[in-house]
Amino acid sequence: MEQLIELIKQPWPWYVAGPLIGLTVPALLLLGNKSFGISSSLRHVCAACLPANIPFFQYNWQKEMWNLVFVLGVLIGGFVATVFISNPDTVVVAESTQRDLAALGITSFGNLMPKEIFTFDNLFTLKGLFFFVIGGFMVGFGTRYAGGCTSGHAIMGISNLQWPSLVATIFFMLGGFAMTHLLLPHIMSFVGF
């Protein structure tokens, strides 16, 4: 049992983790013709909790209860992994990436999220406004505008040979590259890095 826990604690190579993620598509299709995606769960929660007369939230959300259970499992799994079986080793970040991030003022590489940005102290600052509020709004708006998130389009949509999912995934990637290389340096200098 101890060896299994040690195996789970280690980062898995892409050629193991990738196929395991990819196998969720046929598993969900075989288990009831379900589509993989995370962003739709927010709509289901709103439909369940907000009994308003908003047409977008008036549908049979109980039929999608499996999706809410899936997202709850993701949250519980993340908590268990962080608290009980997290890898104590420093996250390995390429030296070139460390240099690029250090030029932007980010030097903490021990966690998955840099402490210079993602702390409760930054929540009510200009940094917090940009990275949490505006960034969160842009992700939510983009997800709704694209008709799904990266997991839904890139994993489920492309594997089902859906042309809109391929286009959405290409633009997700282009947007990420543009943000990283064109906008992020300006935002970082604006918010005080």
List per-residue pLDDT tens for the chain, 193 residues long. Answer: 788 887 887 778 889 988 988 888 888 888 888 887 788 888 888 888 877 788 888 888 888 888 899 889 999 998 988 888 877 777 778 889 888 888 888 888 766 778 888 888 888 888 888 888 888 888 888 888 888 888 788 888 888 889 999 999 999 999 989 988 898 888 888 877 6
Q: Is residue 134 part of a domain?
A: yes
- 11's tokens: 């980062």
Q: For the chain, count helices (H), then strands (E).
A: 12, 0
Q: How many domains does the chain have?
A: 2
Q: Among 35, 68, 86, which residue terminates a domain?
A: 86
Q: Are residues 7 and 51 in the same domain?
A: yes
Amino acid at 143: T
164 vs 170: CA distance, rounded Å: 10
Q: Are residues 2 and 80 in the same domain?
A: yes
Give pLDDT, residue 72. 93
Give pLDDT, residue 170. 94
Q: Is residue 98 part of a domain?
A: no
Q: Among 86, 108, 134, which residue terminates a domain?
A: 86
Q: Rounded to 5 degrees, what are φ and ψ at 12?
A: -95, 145
Please give the residue range of the domain that contains residue 189: 117-193
Q: Is residue 154 part of a domain?
A: yes
Q: Is residue 179 part of a domain?
A: yes
Q: Are residues 71 and 4 in the same domain?
A: yes
Q: Are residues 134 and 183 in the same domain?
A: yes
Q: Are residues 8 and 80 in the same domain?
A: yes
165 vs 152: CA distance, rounded Å: 8
Give pLDDT, residue 38. 82
Q: Are residues 82 and 124 in the same domain?
A: no
Q: Are residues 11 and 57 in the same domain?
A: yes
Q: Are residues 81 and 145 in the same domain?
A: no
Q: Is residue 132 part of a domain?
A: yes
Q: Is residue 99 part of a domain?
A: no
Q: Is residue 95 part of a domain?
A: no
25 vs 146: CA distance, rounded Å: 20
Q: Are residues 63 and 123 in the same domain?
A: no
Q: Is residue 105 part of a domain?
A: no
- 15's tokens: 């050629």
